Copies of this chain bind each other. A is one copy, B any other.
C-alpha cells in the first residue's frame, strides 16, 4: 500500500484506465457504487470525480449520473475558433483575398462574442496546444491539406470554405465559380470579343477547375470554339499574370480580352501591358476575379467578379456554431453566387481587332 499517493488520485487514475480500456463507455457507475467497489469513502470518490469533471474528462447530470465527456460536444467552451490556411499560400494572411476573408470572419465571430485565432500547418505539439484553445475550426480547403483537415476534424468541429472537402461529412461553404465565369464570358461577348484568353488558377482544386470549366462553357454557350492556345496555366500570383501576357502577346493573333482566375493575376497582366505600352481596355480588356479592395483603386478600376466574402464568413461561422452547439444543419453544403462588376478594364473590342 503506497501511502505517498493520495487515494483520490488513485481513484482518478482508476477511472481513467477504465475509460481507456473501454470498460466504461458512456455512463459511470453511481458514486456510492464506486465507493463500495473500490473500498474508498464516498467523499473520496466524489473528490476524484470532481477533479475529472474540472479537467473535462467527465460531466455530471444531476439525478441521472456521471458520463464520459465526448470531446467535441461536451468540452467547456473556450469562446474561440480557429481559421486555418495552408502556409504555402503566397502572401498568407497579408494577401488581399485572405486578409479580407479573415477580416470578415473576425467580424462575424466577434458579433457572437467569439474570438478568432489564425493558424497554419505547424508541428504536432503546437497544433495540439492550439486546438486546446479552440471550439472549432473554419478552414480554407485545398486537396493538399485534406489530411490535415481530417486531423482537425478528429478533435474539433470543422467547416470548410473555398473548396469542399473530399470527406462530404464536413460541411462546406463555397462559391459558384462556374456560373461567375460564364457571366464574364457572356459580358465580353456582349462587348464583341471573340478571342478571349484565360489565365487559369491552380487546377489542383475545384475552385481552379470550376473557373476554367466556366470559361470553356461560356465560350461554347456563345458559339465560340475553345482554343487551347488561348489558355495560359497560371498560379494565382501577380507574376503569372505578367507571364500570361507575355505568352498571349507571343501569339500570331493575340486575344482581344483576357480573363484572369483571380485579381492578383489581373494586376500582373495590366502591369505588363502598360509596361509594353499597350492600353487597358483600349487594346486589351482584362477581367479579374475576387474584387479585392485594390481592384477598385487602381487605374483604370478593375472589372472583376464580386465575391460575397462577408456572406461566406457569416455562413461558415453559423454552420460551425451549429456543430459546436450540437444542433442539426439545414444544409451541409452551400454554394453562394458571385457576380460580375464591370469597371474600367473592359470595353468593346477595338475596331481593328474586329476586322482582323
Contacts and interface: CB of A to CB of B under 8 A. Distances in A.
Nearest to A296: B238
Contact of A80 (B94, B107, B133): B133
B113 A126 contact: yes
A267 B133 CA distance: 40
Interface stretch (A98-106, A215-223, A329-337, A347-355): A98-106
Interface string A212-254: 0000000000000000000000000010000000000000000
B94 A293 contact: yes
Contacts of A129: 79, 113
Nearest to A78: B133
B110 A93 contact: no
7 smallest beta-carbon distances between A and B, as pairs: A99-B99, A94-B103, A274-B299, A93-B103, A94-B100, A271-B299, A115-B117
- Specify how many copies of this chain sit in the oligomer: 2
Interface string A261-297: 0001001101100110000000000000000011001
A44 interface: no
B110 A99 contact: no
A268 B297 contact: yes
Given A92-B103, A99-B99, A133-B115, A267 B54 contact: no
A106 B104 CA distance: 17
Main SS at interface, chain A: helix
Contacts of A67: none
A275 B299 contact: yes
Nearest to A112: B126
B130 A115 contact: yes
A298 interface: yes
A306 interface: no
Interface of A: 54, 78-80, 91-96, 99-100, 102-104, 106-107, 110, 113, 115-120, 122, 126, 129-130, 133, 238, 264, 267-268, 270-271, 274-275, 293-294, 297-300
Contact of A238 (B110, B118, B238, B297): B297
Contacts of A96: 94, 96, 293-294
A96 B95 CA distance: 9
A141 to B, nearest CB: 20
Given A95-B293, A270-B299, 18 more contacts: A79-B129, A79-B133, A80-B80, A93-B102, A94-B104, A96-B96, A96-B293, A99-B99, A106-B118, A110-B120, A113-B129, A115-B119, A133-B133, A267-B294, A267-B297, A271-B298, A271-B299, A298-B298
B116 A118 contact: yes
A91 B299 contact: no
A309 to B, nearest CB: 9
Contacts of A113: 126, 129
